[in-house]
Amino acid sequence: MGRVEGKVALVTGGGSGLGAADCRRLAEEGAKVAVTDVNLEAAQKVADEIGDQAIALRHDVASEEDWKSVLAEVERRFGGLNILVNNAGIVVVADPEETTLEQFRKVQAVMNEGVFLGCKYAIPLIVKSGGGSIINMSSTASHLGYPPFFAYSAAKGAVRSMTKSIAIHCQQKGYGIRCNSVHPASIETPMIQGAMGRPGQEQAVPEGVLPSGAIGAPKDVANLILYLASDESRFVTGSEILIDNGLIITPAG
């Protein structure tokens, strides 16, 4: 217990899936958590589960004004910010020819521009708070070709490269901020359930070492988020960390 004791975290898309798991895990280890989501009701439910050390805020990550107001409220309520988890995401199932410009722009607004805005406006507050960690949720889609998830893959690729620039920028400026990207394969979340044609149908993920091709559990990612948020990972910045059960290195056939 206490691996992030005394730290303040903001998790976008915290109302469900990976974001909710991240919020719970960070709170379990002592962090105060701002659960932000475009769905305030979902965010409030997670915050209520956590208790007094959490707040829920409505947050459209594609909105510059929302980022300014949310960060101001986090500072007002908690006194600063040490951990930013840029987790919010959406997916459109469409290949390069089927994807409309409107769909492409919407996905980029949430997962590309949203991460940019989060880093841009959170960096000064994290510096003011004494430094910390930015964790950007990417995907194995940034490494592989997934035609049905074209816009999603493009956004996650942007997150992958953006993270490295932010990490070096903060290091060169002496800000005391580390920035890393996390690249999960399929994890049992509402997004994956919808993409696999079983919306709302959650499947249990067994304990222990999982076989090739298995879907992971949200807690698998949350434990990695906790490590990157904690001072244990002080020598880790600019890294892209795969959490994919060997997917990327599995030989074809």
Q: Where are the domains of the chain?
A: 8-243
Tell whether the model's pLDDT for residue 194 goes beyond 70.
no
Share of residues in the chain with pLDDT > 90 (%): 85
As a whole number, mean pLDDT of residues 56-71 equals 98
Name the superfamily (CATH) of residues 8-243: NAD(P)-binding Rossmann-like Domain (3.40.50.720)
Return the closest-CA partner of residue 234 out of 177, 152, 163, 164. 177
Mean pLDDT estimate for the chain: 94
Average pLDDT over residues 89-108: 97
Say what the pLDDT of residue 212 is.
80
- In the block, residue with structure tokens 């067994």: 206
C-alpha dist (Å) from residue 42 to 16, 55, 73? 7, 12, 19
pLDDT at 209: 80
Q: How confident is the model at residue 54 (pLDDT cuts 50, 70, 90)?
A: very high
How far apart CA 134 and CA 117 sit, in angstroms, is 12
Indicate which residue of 121, 152, 175, 227 is catalytic.
152
Q: Is the pLDDT of residue 201 over 70?
A: no
Q: What is the pLDDT of residues 166-183, one digit of tens each?
A: 999 999 999 999 999 999
Contact at 8 Å (CB) between 11 and 35? yes
Q: Is 152 a catalytic residue?
A: yes
The answer on pLDDT for 196 being more than 70 is no
Going by pLDDT thresholds of 50, 70 and 90, the confidence category of residue 193 is: low
For residue 213, the model assigns a pLDDT of: 75
pTM for the full predicted model: 0.94
